[in-house]
Structure 1
Amino acid sequence: MGVKRLEILGLSFRRSPRGAPILTDIDLDVAAGEILSILGPNGAGKSTLVQCLLGLLRPETGSVRLSGDDVARLTRLEIARRIAYVPQSAQTAFAFEAAHMVLTGRSVHIGGMGAPSEKDRQIAEDAMRSVGILHLRRRLFTELSGGERQLVLIARAMAQETPVIVMDEPTASLDLGNQGRALGLIRDLARAGKSIVMTTHLPDQAFNLRCRVALLKAGRLTAVGPVDDVCETGAMNELYGARLHRLTDRAAGRLSAFVPELP
């Protein structure tokens, strides 16, 4: 495994001193060129963990480290130059064109009251082209569909040019075709050396990416490892509290998805 770009060390979190724990004793790491998929049901604590990674929430105990530096000691700008974030969705009160939204990813490199350079604009345009949304560049972000907005947010993270990208259920609003494109982009970003953390409640996405998986249930990790080792039927039944049936890709000769048994 390569150099650990992102480390989560003994992290626990609760909303208030007397509140119930939301995350307990989380230990994870992500290397350069690696994808870590954090898999769990709704309410498992995935989005809270993402907020801790971004420095938006401070852990009760433990720490998050970027290339050895404690996130709690970094400024917002220093964090933004190291981690790009793709949220589940985004709203804006301003009628920005899609191209402008992507260009905002360059703001962490421009600083102050500086204006984007021709290089910044080219990087943003290249990101839109890679995602396949260059034709949307003059459309208003507020007028795009939920799936189109999500692709714009992925392009913005790419334009930010950070070593780490954190994605909170990045394909939740995408149709099957765009899910495939987004997962392909995630795979290619990792191959280019990016460290990717993505949350999802769909194990088939981890199978498609052939990545490392962390299972999160009620704020605790129940397993971490290669997808084929971790996502076996018994573990999935326990994780989701349901009886699931596994589907196998006969051509590839491997497990590819789970479907729930109807009550």
Structure 2
Amino acid sequence: MIGQGLEALDLAVGYGRKQVASDLNLHVQTGQVVCLLGPNGSGKSTLLRTLLGLQPPLSGQVRVQGKPLEQWSRRALARQLAYVPQAQDSAFAFTVEQWVLLGCASELAWYTQPRAADRQWVGACLARLGIGHLAPKRIDQISGGERQLCVIARALAQRSQFLIMDEPASSLDFANQLRVLDQVSHLRQEGLGVLLCTHQPEHAARVADWVILYRDGGILAQGQPRDMLSQARLRQLYQLPAHAFELPDWYAQGA
């Protein structure tokens, strides 16, 4: 429904006086996966940070559930929007469980300790990503790929309505990429709205309900995956020659 969900309206984003992108309009509903697809360096992360309220828009507006972003308190907004950045390090020697518990902070009163129910919920978030065994380990002593899965688990622990994911699988091996994408599909089935930023068309093809093609400071096109992920569209988006899509005969035959 227009007026609900997460919306960008005639948005321009950038840093200081430097404009990175303009005339941006997008809409993410609950129960929907929208993929923001574009090459590296196209300003996707800047857009996501603006949608999250981490930096102000240069012009235009962001609305969450019909309400301007600036009218939300940070605590209330955390119950609406959760963020999965590309990579994140911890300067503290938290265990994985303690670190993921930080995702429950918006549900807790000031100066209160996590409840048994919070710890059970965190355990469930870790288990669904196949990393329950990491709970007692220190967050700064696990691999980068494992840490990225913990970042996703912490976002899930927020119990937010919308999940904004900035290339969440970029540091993961093939099996864990598929695990993350499978979870994105499950989150949609559970009624969450997901804005997934990626530069990999195959990820969009696997999970997207709607695809936004983004480059050179603006939206090139947006629509259904079957229309946006054609060879012609992808050549335009990534500025590739036609032969870039050619595959060996043995691959086409499924050998």
Structure 2 unmatched runs, 5+ = 248-255
| Aligned residue in 1 for 2:7 | 7
SS for the counterpart of 1:42 is coil
Residue 2 of structure 1 and its aligned partner are, at CA, apart by: 8.4
| Aligned residue in 2 for 1:245 | 245
In the alignment, is the contact (CA less than 8 A) between 1:104 and 1:156 conserved in 2? yes
CA distance in 1, matches of 2:236, 2:157: 39
Which has the higher mean CA deviation after the structures are superposed, 236-245 or 183-192? 236-245
Number of matched residues? 245
| Aligned residue in 2 for 1:257 | none
In the alignment, is the contact (CA less than 8 A) between 2:34 and 2:210 conserved in 1? yes
Which has the higher mean CA deviation after the structures are superposed, 2-11 or 179-188? 2-11
| Aligned residue in 1 for 2:100 | 102
Question: Residues 1-150 of structure 1 correspond to what in structure 2 (within 5 A)?
Answer: 4-17=4-17, 19=18, 21-150=19-148
In the alignment, is the contact (CA less than 8 A) between 1:2 and 1:32 conserved in 2? no
CA distance in 2, matches of 1:111, 1:91: 26
In the alignment, is the contact (CA less than 8 A) between 1:38 and 1:199 conserved in 2? yes
SS for the counterpart of 2:118 is helix
In the alignment, is the contact (CA less than 8 A) between 1:10 and 1:61 conserved in 2? yes
Residue 111 of structure 1 and its aligned partner are, at CA, apart by: 3.1
In structure 2, the CA distance between the partners of 1:14 and 1:87, relative to structure 1 (3 Å rule), is closer
Q: Which amino acid aligns with 2:212?
A: A
SS for the counterpart of 1:4 is coil
CA distance in 1, matches of 2:71, 2:3: 21
CA distance in 1, matches of 2:104, 2:197: 24
In structure 2, the CA distance between the partners of 1:157 and 1:14, relative to structure 1 (3 Å rule), is closer
| Aligned residue in 1 for 2:251 | none
In the alignment, is the contact (CA less than 8 A) between 1:3 and 1:31 conserved in 2? no
In structure 2, the CA distance between the partners of 1:220 and 1:185, relative to structure 1 (3 Å rule), is same
Residue 100 of structure 1 and its aligned partner are, at CA, apart by: 0.9
TM-score normalised to structure 1 length? 0.90
Of structures 1 and 2, the one scoring higher in RCO (CA 8 A, sep 6+) is: 2
Structure 1 unmatched runs, 5+ = 248-263
Identity of aligned residues (%): 37
CA distance in 1, matches of 2:224, 2:124: 32
In structure 2, the CA distance between the partners of 1:2 and 1:71, relative to structure 1 (3 Å rule), is closer
SS for the counterpart of 2:176 is helix
Question: Could you list the per-position Cα deviations for residues 4-47 of structure 1 after superposition, in whole angstroms to 9, with x for gaps in the alignment?
Answer: 31111110023233x3x201110000111000000000111110
Higher strand share: 1
CA distance in 2, matches of 1:3, 1:34: 15
Q: Which amino acid aligns with 2:167?
A: E
1:183 aligned to 181, 198, 201, which one? 181
> Which contiguous aligned blocks of 4+ residues in structure 1 show a shift greater than 4 angstroms?
none
Residue 3 of structure 1 and its aligned partner are, at CA, apart by: 7.4
1:199 aligned to 197, 200, 216, which one? 197
In the alignment, is the contact (CA less than 8 A) between 1:80 and 1:108 conserved in 2? yes
TM-score normalised to structure 2 length? 0.92
CA distance in 2, matches of 1:10, 1:2: 15
CA distance in 2, matches of 1:46, 1:187: 22
SS for the counterpart of 2:245 is strand
Residue 246 of structure 1 and its aligned partner are, at CA, apart by: 6.6
Q: Which amino acid aligns with 2:107?
A: H
In the alignment, is the contact (CA less than 8 A) between 1:233 and 1:246 conserved in 2? no
CA distance in 1, matches of 2:223, 2:246: 19
CA distance in 2, matches of 1:174, 1:2: 35
